[in-house]
Chain A
Amino acid sequence: MSVITLENIKKTYYLGDNTVNALRDVTLNVEEGEFVAITGPSGSGKSTLMHILGCLDRPTSGKYMLNGNDVSGLPMEALAEIRNRQIGFVFQGFNLLPRTTATENVEVPLLYSRPVLTSAERKDMALSALSSMGLADRVDHHPSQLSGGQQQRVAIARALVNNPAIILADEPTGNLDTKTSIEVMKLLQELRKEKGITIILITHEPEIAAYGTRIISMRDGLVVSDEANTPREDFDETRTAYKAEPVVAAAAVE
C-alpha cells in the first residue's frame, strides 16, 4: 500500500519581485516500509519536500495523498493533528527542550494527543519508547547530561512515541561523528524492519544514503534519479572513512 503519493507537487516562494521555485514538479510514490534516502546538493529542495511531506507546509500546487487521504488542501489545524498522529520528526539539531528530562522530552507529542492521555499513560509510553532506544537508564537525564548520540536517540524516541506511519529525518547525522552516525542509521533500519515504519531520510552524504532501500536524488527542485538500493548492513566504522572529524554535538534547543 502506498503511504505517500505526490502528484505534480510544486512549491514556489515569492520574495518581493523574485520567485523561487523550490520544488518544480515532484511526483513520487512511497510504499509502506520503505527506507527512502533523499540526497542532493544544498538548495535542491530536499527540506522543502520534507516540510510538505511532514505537513508543516502546503504545496503551491499538486496533490499529496497520505495513507490514502488527500492532505494537500487541509487547514493548518487539521495538519497539526496529522503531524501528531502519523508523522515523527528527527532533526539535525535534535531540538530537545533544555533542562527537561528525557522522559518529558519524549512526552511532548503525547501532550497534544486526542483523546487526551493521562500523565501516567504519557509516562509509560515515553519510558517504553526510551527503553526501545536503549536509554532505560537515562530517562531522568537532561539533554546537557547526554552525549550527542544519546540526545539523537531521545529525539528518535520522541518521533516514535505516537506510533507514526512515517518518520521524517532531515540530516539526522549532521551533528554526529561517524561512529554515532552509524549507530543512528542502524536504529532506523531496525525500526523499519521490526515495526514496518516508513522512513524518509534526507542527507547530502552518499555514505549515509546507502543505508536506505531506495535512493532519490534531487537537483533544482526536481527528482533527477530514483533507484532501489540494497541497504548497507555493515556497521563497522573502520570500513567507512567518510567523515574524519567528529563534529561537536549541537546544543539542544535554547
Chain B
Amino acid sequence: MFTMLPVNLRLATRSLSRNPMRTLLTMLGIIIGVAAVLTMVALGTGARGTVEDEVASAGTNIVFVKSGNYTRGGDSVGIAAGRGAATTLIEADANAILDNIAGIRAVSPGLSLRTFISSNGENVFTRVLGIAVEFSDIYSWNMTSGRMLAPGAANEAVIGSTLAQTMFGGNAVGQEVELRGNTYTIVGITDSAIDDQPEILFVPWQTLQQSMDISHLDSITIAAEKAGETSRISGEVSVLLRARHGIESRDDVNFLAAQSGGGVEPDDFTVETQAAQALTKGLYTPAAAFALANLPKLDEVTLDEMANTLDRASNTMTALLASIAGVSLIVGGIGIMNIMLVSITERTREIGLRMATGARSADVAMQFLIEAVTLSVIGGCIGLILGLLSAKVIGWSLGWPASVSLTAMAMAIGIAATIGLIFGSYPARRASLLDPIDALRTE
C-alpha cells in the first residue's frame, strides 16, 4: 500500500498545483486552525514556564515589607498612583517582627539607593543596598571569593558578581569604594543570581543610613523558616505593623468599600511575598499597580495562588484559542471534504480509467485520501509558520515568553494530517465506490 506513496504524492501535488488559488482557499481553515493551536500551546507552556522559573529561582520563603503603599498617592481619586513615600518604617519594626511573629528564620532591615559610587577615581552609577549580615542567610548566598560582611563591621562591602566584573574585572576583594563620604572595603563577591543582586553593592545598613542622614528604612526582608508559611507571616506582619504605626486595623473584605468611601486610613507599608513580587515583574503597569493596591490580600498572595491565577489567565486564553482552533479546523476539514468531492466529480473519468486499467477500490481511495492529507498537511505547515509568528507577537506584547517545542510542532502537523484523514475519508470512499463503466461514460 505504501509503495504507491511517492506516486500518490506526486499525483496529489500535481492535482493541487493545478488550481493554486482554490487550493489555498481550501487550506485557509486548516491554516488558521493550526496557527491557533500553536499559539495556544506556545502561550500556555510559556506562561507555565514563567511560573516554574520563578518557583525555581525565587524559592517560596521570603516576605518583603516595603515602606509606603500604592494607595497613598492616589487617595483623593481612589486610584493608585505609585507607592507613596513614607518614613515610618524603622529598625524597631524589624526587631518587633522577629520577636513577635513565629516561624521567622531571619530578618534584615534594608535601605535602597541608586547613586554614583567611586573607586580609583572612577565613578559608576549603580544600585546600593544597605543590609544586615542576616541577608546572606535569607538568600542562601555563597561567596565566589572573600566572605560576607562581618557582624559589627561598619565599612565593609560585598559586591554582586556582574558589578565586580564591570568595575574591577573580577578582582574586587580588597578594593575600596567611596559612597556618600564613606569608604568601604570590599570583602567578598556574592554568586547570587536572584533579581538584580549581581549588579548591586551591599553595605551595612547602619552606615548607609547615617551617611544619608535619615532614621527610617526602605524595607525589611524576612525569611520564613518553612516555605508555604509566607501567607500567614505576611498577614501577621500587616497586623503588627498597623498596630505599631497606629493604623486602624480593618476587615480586609470591607477594605475596598471602606476605602472608596475615604473612611479608613490606608497603610503606610506594603507587605509582599517573593512570589507576588516575582510574578508581577514585567506586568507592571498602572492598571496592575491599581489591582495590587486595591485587591484585598493580593499583596499577601502566595506563589501557589499567583501561579494559579496566571494559570487561570492562560487557561482563559487557551480556551479562547482552542475554540478558534476547533472551529477553524472543522471548517477547514469541511472545506477539504468539499473540494475533494468537487475534484472527484471533475475527475470521474480519470477514476474510471484507473479502475479499468487495474486500480482496486483501495488504490483509488488511497489516491484521494493522500491528496486530502497532502492538502491539509501543506495547510498545517503554513499554519505552523503563522502560529510561530503570532505566538511571538502575542507573547512579546503580553511580556510572556512563548516557547514552542518540537513536540508541539509535530503535534500541530499531526492534527492537520488527522483532519485531512477524517474529512478526506468520505470523498475517498465515494471515489472508490464509483462504478468504472459509469465513471468512464461521464462527460
A residues with CB within 8 A of B: 51, 54, 56-57, 76-77, 80-81, 83-85, 89, 91, 95, 97, 99-100, 108-109, 111-113, 116, 119, 158, 162, 253-254
Contacts and interface: CB of A to CB of B under 8 A. Distances in A.
Nearest to B349: A253
B217 to A, nearest CB: 82
Given A51-B437, A91-B440, A111-B4, A254 B358 contact: no
A173 B73 CA distance: 98
Interface stretch (B41-49, B219-227, B359-367): B359-367
B443 to A, nearest CB: 8
A56 B358 CA distance: 10
B384 to A, nearest CB: 30
Given A91-B440, A95-B440, A254 B346 contact: yes
Contacts of A77: 360-361
Contacts of B401: none
Given A51-B437, A111-B7, A85 B358 contact: yes
Contacts of A97: 350, 353
B152 interface: no
A63 B194 CA distance: 90
Contacts of A253: 347, 349-350, 353
Nearest to B6: A119
B357 interface: yes
Contacts of B6: 119
B4 A89 contact: no
Given A56-B436, A80-B360, A254-B346, 11 more contacts: A56-B437, A84-B357, A84-B358, A85-B358, A89-B356, A95-B349, A97-B350, A99-B18, A109-B357, A112-B359, A253-B349
B3 interface: yes
B216 interface: no
Given A95-B440, A119-B6, A254-B346, A108 B360 contact: no
B354 interface: yes
Nearest to A88: B357
Contacts of A99: 14, 18
Contacts of A108: 353-354, 357
Contacts of B292: none
Nearest to A113: B358
Interface string B417-438: 0000000000000000000110
B355 interface: yes
Nearest to B363: A112
A225 B376 CA distance: 58
Contacts of B349: 95, 253-254
B361 A109 contact: no
A223 B188 CA distance: 113
* B interface bracket (residues with beta carbon within 8 Å of A): 20 to 34
Contacts of B356: 54, 56, 83, 89
B436 A112 contact: no
A235 to B, nearest CB: 29
Nearest to A168: B356
A92 B194 CA distance: 83
A117 B31 CA distance: 37
A54 B4 CA distance: 25
A100 B349 CA distance: 15
A235 B360 CA distance: 40
A158 B357 contact: yes
Contact of B358 (A51, A57, A95, A112): A112
A113 B357 CA distance: 10
Contacts of A158: 357
A57 B437 contact: yes
Given A51-B437, A95-B440, A253-B353, A76 B4 contact: no
23 contacts: A54-B356, A57-B437, A76-B361, A77-B360, A80-B355, A80-B358, A80-B359, A80-B360, A81-B360, A83-B356, A84-B357, A84-B358, A85-B358, A95-B352, A99-B18, A100-B14, A109-B358, A111-B7, A112-B357, A119-B6, A119-B7, A158-B357, A253-B353
Contacts of A84: 357-358
A77 B365 CA distance: 13
Contacts of A109: 357-358
Contacts of A111: 4, 7, 359, 363
